[in-house]
Amino acid sequence: MQYFIDSASIEEIKEAISLGVLDGVTTNPSLVSKTGRPFNEVAKEICHLVQGPVSLEVVGTTAEEMLREAKQLRTYGSNVVVKIPMLSEGLKAVKALSAEGIPTNVTLIFQPVQALLAAKAGATYVSPFIGRLDDIGQDGLLLVRDIIQIYRQYSFKTKVLAASVRHPIHVLECAKMGVDVVTLPVKVVHQLTKHPLTDSGLKTFLEDWKKVKN
């Protein structure tokens, strides 16, 4: 399973890179807005920093606009994955980009048949949003399970990129299901390293070590 960081913050991305387990980055317009910086500046910096795929999202709502934006986004780096919202117009754009060999990530997936359509259009990744479904009392992990079942059934090559991940249990369940990629907020990256028994165990080891005659 690959780990991406879901962030447009250069500090957070650098922090994730320093842990040595980062495979890529996903961003969205809200994350870019939080940085308070111009989009093109942030996008170029992220693409330069990160070796793996970097999802940058279009904001147009017609296929024509999306394709125009995609061309611009790809000038920021050869690792750019064009992130496209799950709309009928989005599917047209994905189909055209896929024919040109340009990688895409279809985002805002909330039901399995949306993921089926995205795969048929040739998407490289689909992003089911787990936490946002949980937030409205639906089972986000069930969505991921259904998508994996459908993709296996028809041998689709589209990768499942679990998004809107809120805590380590989401990551654990995704790993058990064989999800291709999880994209994590930096907070969850840190949570993954923690267990209270690890902390108390280390404290005891270090205290006992002081009693050892060297």
Identify the three-state secondary structure at position 194.
coil
The interface mask with ligand G3P, positions 161-180, x = CB under 6 A, is: --xx----------------
One residue of 132, 150, 173, 186 binding ligand G3P per CB under 6 A: 132
E-assigned strands of 20-124? 24-26, 54-57, 80-85, 104-109
| Among the residue ranges 32-40, 96-104, 126-134, 201-209, the one whose residues contact ligand G3P (CB under 6 A) | 126-134
If binding is defined by CB under 6 A, does position 76 make contact with ligand G3P?
A: no
CB of 27 to ligand G3P, least distance (A): 7
CB of 57 to ligand G3P, least distance (A): 8
Nearer to ligand G3P, 101 or 137 (CB): 137
The length of the chain, given as a count of residues: 214
If binding is defined by CB under 6 A, does position 7 make contact with ligand G3P?
A: no
CB of 59 to ligand G3P, least distance (A): 14
Residue type, 145: R
CB of 197 to ligand G3P, least distance (A): 28
If binding is defined by CB under 6 A, does position 183 make contact with ligand G3P?
A: yes
CB of 30 to ligand G3P, least distance (A): 7
In whole angstroms, give the CA distance from residue 65 to residue 93.
9
If binding is defined by CB under 6 A, does position 129 make contact with ligand G3P?
A: yes
One residue of 13, 16, 22, 26 binding ligand G3P per CB under 6 A: 26
Angle of helix 186-193 versus helix 10-18 axis, rounded to 10: 30
Identify the three-state secondary structure at position 178.
coil
Element (H, E) at 73: helix 63-74
Nearer to ligand G3P, 96 or 147 (CB): 147
Cβ atoms 126, 156 nearer than 8 A: no
Residues recognised as catalytic? 83
Cβ atoms 73, 90 nearer than 8 A: no
If binding is defined by CB under 6 A, does position 114 make contact with ligand G3P?
A: no
Cβ atoms 192, 165 nearer than 8 A: no
List the one residue out of 7, 21, 30 whose CA is nearest residue 165: 7
Element (H, E) at 110: none
For binding to ligand G3P (CB under 6 A), which residues are involved? 6, 26, 28, 129, 131-132, 163-164, 183
